[in-house]
C-alpha cells in the first residue's frame, strides 16, 4: 500500500481546504474550537453547506447522491474538516441509516428517505440500546406485534444520542420471541411524532444533555416502515454497526488531539523545562503517535477493502478498540499536562455569550468536559470487551 499521496490527491486536499475556507462560517468554527455547545441549527448549517456542494454523503454511491470519493479522498476531507474546526457530521442518517437503506431498503424507501436525509428534512436517531440490552444487543425487549397494516410497539430505548432533536428513529424491535436471541429481531423506521412516544433527557457526567431515554407505548408503525425482512433485522443491525464502529475509531479526531497535546507540552513547564522534554511524558506521547500511525494505515486498508466490496467484520471491531483507547489516552495526557488547570468545570462557560475570563490557559476550560465525555467511547457502539470477543472468535478462532 503506497502511503504517499498522489498529485491528484494533493490537488483534492487543496480543493477541499479552499471549499472549507469559503463555506465554513467563522462563528461556527469558533464555537467548535472553543468547545461551545452546538445547537441543532449549528449542525444543519454545515450539513446544508456540504450538501449544496454535493459533498455530504461521503459513504453513499453516486447514484444515490454520494460523492464517489476514494477512501483516501474521504480520509483527506475528514482531516481538513477537523483541522478547520468544522462541526462533526451527525452520523445517524448519513453514515448509519443511509447505507442500510441502500443495501436492504425497498425502492420506495430509498426514493422517500434518502433525499430527505441529504436535504436535512429528517433528523434521525438510533434506537438500539435498552436498559438491559446494550453491548448484549440481542437480548433487547422492545416488542412489535403485527396488527394488520401496522406494528404496535412497546418498550424503552436508552442512550439515544440527540434524540431530543430527532424527527425519526431507526429502531430494533422483537417481532418473534421464539428461537435464538438474534432471531426474531426486525428493523423499523419510527416517526418520533407518533402518539405514545416520550423522550426524557439523561444528563451525563459532563453536565450535558446529549443522550436520552425514549419510551414507546402502543406506538403504531406502518408495516411499510419495515426495512428488510421481518425477523431478519439482525442482518441490518450488524451491517450498520460495522459502519458505526469504523467511524468511532476517529483517526482524524485523534490526529487533531495529538497535535493539540504536543502544543500544550511545548507550552507547559515542569521543574523549569518544557513538559515535552520530560523523558517519561515524551515516551507516552511517542507511544500514542506510533499507535495512531499504525491505526491510520489499518483504517485506510479497511476502507479500501470496503470500497472494493468487502464488508468490514472483525476489522471494524479492532479499529473501534484501538481508536477509543488512543483517544482516551490523549485526553489523559492532556489532563496530566495541564495539572490543576484541568480541574475547573464551569458548565456556563460553554454557553454562547459567556464572557468570564478563563482560569488558566484558554485551552484548559474544555478539558474536564472532554475528558469525561471520552470515557464513553469504550462503551458505545458495543463495549470494547465485546469487540475483543468478536476479534477472538472471528480472527483467532477462540
pLDDT of residue 55: 97
Alpha-carbon distance 7 to 9, whole Å? Answer: 5
Query: How is residue 306 written as a grid cell?
Result: 470496503
pLDDT of residue 76: 92
pLDDT of residue 240: 83
Domain 249-394, CATH class in plain words: mainly alpha
What mean pLDDT do residues 361-373 have? Answer: 80
What mean pLDDT do residues 174-191 have? Answer: 92
Q: Enumerate residues 6+ apart whose C-beta is below 8 A from 253.
A: 82, 327
Q: For residue 194, give the DSSP letter.
A: S
Q: Enumerate residues 6+ apart whose C-beta is below 8 A from 204.
A: 210, 211, 372, 373, 376
Reported confidence tier of residue 370, pLDDT bands at 50, 70, 90: confident
Residue 127, H or E segment: strand 124-127
What mean pLDDT do residues 22-29 have? Answer: 97
Alpha-carbon distance 49 to 53, whole Å? Answer: 7
177 in helix, strand or coil? coil
Tell which residue, 131, 125, 240, 227, has the closest CA to residue 185.
227
Tell which residue, 169, 5, 28, 2, has the closest CA to residue 85.
28
Residues serving a catalytic function are 244
Q: Judge whether 65 and 58 are in contact, CB under 8 Å.
A: no
| pLDDT over 60 (residue 2) | no
Percent of the chain at pLDDT above 90?
57
Biggest CA-to-CA distance, the chain? 76
| pLDDT over 90 (residue 347) | no
Q: Judge whether 268 and 338 are in contact, CB under 8 Å.
A: yes
With cell 436498559, the residue in question is 131
Q: Enumerate residues 6+ apart whose C-beta is below 8 A from 165.
A: 40, 123, 125
Report how many helices (DSSP H) and strands (DSSP E) the chain contains, helices first: 13, 10
Residue 47, H or E segment: helix 40-53
pLDDT of residue 228: 96
What digits encode the pLDDT tens for the residues 115-133?
Answer: 999 999 999 999 999 998 8
pLDDT of residue 317: 83
What digits encode the pLDDT tens for the residues 125-166?
Answer: 999 999 988 777 888 999 999 999 999 999 999 999 999 999
Mean pLDDT across the chain: 89
Q: How many CB atoms lie within 10 A of CB 288?
A: 21
Alpha-carbon distance 89 to 46, whole Å? Answer: 8
Flag the least confident range among 129-138, 238-247, 293-302, 364-373: 238-247
pLDDT of residue 207: 78
Q: Judge whether 210 and 126 are in contact, CB under 8 Å.
A: no
Query: How is residue 323 written as a grid cell?
Result: 481508536
Tell which residue, 14, 44, 17, has the closest CA to residue 28.
44
pLDDT of residue 105: 97
Kindly state which CATH superfamily the domain 124-231 is placed in. Butyryl-CoA Dehydrogenase, subunit A, domain 2 (2.40.110.10)
Q: Enumerate residues 6+ apart whose C-beta is below 8 A from 107.
A: none
| Residue 315 vs residue 122, higher pLDDT | 122
Alpha-carbon distance 205 to 150, whole Å? Answer: 39
Percent of the chain at pLDDT above 70?
93
| pLDDT over 60 (residue 1) | no
What digits encode the pLDDT tens for the residues 323-340?
Answer: 999 999 999 999 998 888
333-361: string of b/e by CB count within 10 Å (b at 16+)?
A: bbbbbbeebbeebeeebbeeeeeeeeeee
What digits encode the pLDDT tens for the residues 253-311?
Answer: 899 999 989 988 888 876 667 888 889 999 999 999 999 999 988 887 776 666 665 55
Give me the residue spans of the domains in the chain: 7-89, 124-231, 249-394
With cell 403504531, the residue in question is 220
pLDDT of residue 394: 85
Helical segments of 85-167, H only: 91, 98-104, 107-118
What digits encode the pLDDT tens for the residues 70-79?
Answer: 888 988 999 9
Tell which residue, 179, 136, 135, 128, has the closest CA to residue 155.
128
| pLDDT over 90 (residue 18) | yes
pTM for the predicted model, two decimal places: 0.86
CA 138-380-81 angle, to 5 degrees, is 135
Q: Judge whether 326 and 295 are in contact, CB under 8 Å.
A: yes
Reported confidence tier of residue 342, pLDDT bands at 50, 70, 90: confident
Q: Judge whether 186 and 233 are in contact, CB under 8 Å.
A: yes
Amino acid at each position: 500500500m503506497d502511503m504517499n499521496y498522489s498529485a491528484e490527491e494533493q490537488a483534492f486536499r487543496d480543493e477541499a481546504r479552499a471549499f472549507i475556507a469559503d463555506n465554513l462560517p467563522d462563528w461556527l468554527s469558533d464555537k467548535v474550537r472553543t468547545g461551545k455547545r452546538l445547537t441543532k441549527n449549528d449542525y444543519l448549517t454545515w450539513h446544508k453547506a456540504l450538501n449544496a456542494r454535493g459533498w455530504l454523503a461521503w459513504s453513499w454511491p453516486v447514484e444515490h447522491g454520494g460523492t464517489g470519493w476514494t477512501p483516501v479522498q474521504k480520509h483527506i476531507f475528514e482531516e481538513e474538516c477537523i483541522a478547520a474546526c468544522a462541526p462533526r457530521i451527525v452520523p445517524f442518517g448519513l453514515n448509519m441509516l443511509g447505507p442500510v437503506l441502500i443495501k436492504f431498503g425497498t425502492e420506495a424507501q430509498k426514493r422517500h428517505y434518502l433525499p430527505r436525509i441529504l436535504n436535512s428534512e429528517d433528523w434521525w436517531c438510533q434506537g438500539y440500546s435498552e436498559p438491559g440490552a446494550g453491548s448484549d444487543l440481542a437480548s433487547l425487549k422492545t416488542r412489535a406485534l403485527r396488527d394488520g397494516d401496522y406494528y404496535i410497539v412497546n418498550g424503552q430505548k436508552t442512550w439515544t444520542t440527540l434524540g431530543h432533536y430527532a424527527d425519526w428513529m431507526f429502531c430494533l424491535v422483537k417481532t418473534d420471541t421464539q428461537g435464538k436471541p438474534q432471531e426474531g429481531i426486525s428493523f423499523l423506521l419510527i416517526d418520533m411524532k407518533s402518539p405514545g412516544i416520550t423522550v426524557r433527557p439523561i444528563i451525563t457526567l459532563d453536565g450535558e444533555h446529549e443522550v436520552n431515554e425514549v419510551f414507546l407505548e402502543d406506538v403504531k408503525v406502518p408495516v411499510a416502515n419495515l426495512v428488510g425482512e421481518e425477523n431478519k433485522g439482525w442482518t441490518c443491525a450488524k451491517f450498520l454497526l460495522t459502519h458505526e464502529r469504523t467511524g468511532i475509531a476517529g483517526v482524524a479526531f485523534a490526529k487533531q488531539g495529538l497535535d493539540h497535546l504536543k502544543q500544550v507540552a511545548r507550552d507547559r513547564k515542569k521543574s523549569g523545562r518544557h513538559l515535552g522534554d520530560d523523558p517519561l511524558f515524551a515516551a507516552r506521547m511517542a507511544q500514542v503517535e506510533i499507535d495512531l500511525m499504525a491505526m491510520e494505515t489499518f483504517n485506510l486498508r479497511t476502507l479500501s477493502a470496503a470500497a472494493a466490496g468487502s464488508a468490514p467484520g472483525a476489522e471494524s471491531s479492532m479499529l473501534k478498540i484501538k481508536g477509543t483507547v488512543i483517544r482516551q489516552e490523549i485526553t489523559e495526557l492532556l489532563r496530566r499536562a495541564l495539572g490543576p488547570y484541568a480541574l475547573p468545570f464551569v458548565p456556563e462557560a460553554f454557553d454562547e455569550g459567556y464572557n468570564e475570563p478563563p482560569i488558566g490557559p484558554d485551552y484548559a476550560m474544555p478539558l474536564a468536559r472532554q475528558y469525561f465525555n471520552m470515557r464513553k467511547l469504550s462503551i458505545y457502539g458495543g463495549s470494547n470487551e465485546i469487540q475483543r470477543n468478536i476479534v477472538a472468535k472471528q480472527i483467532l478462532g477462540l
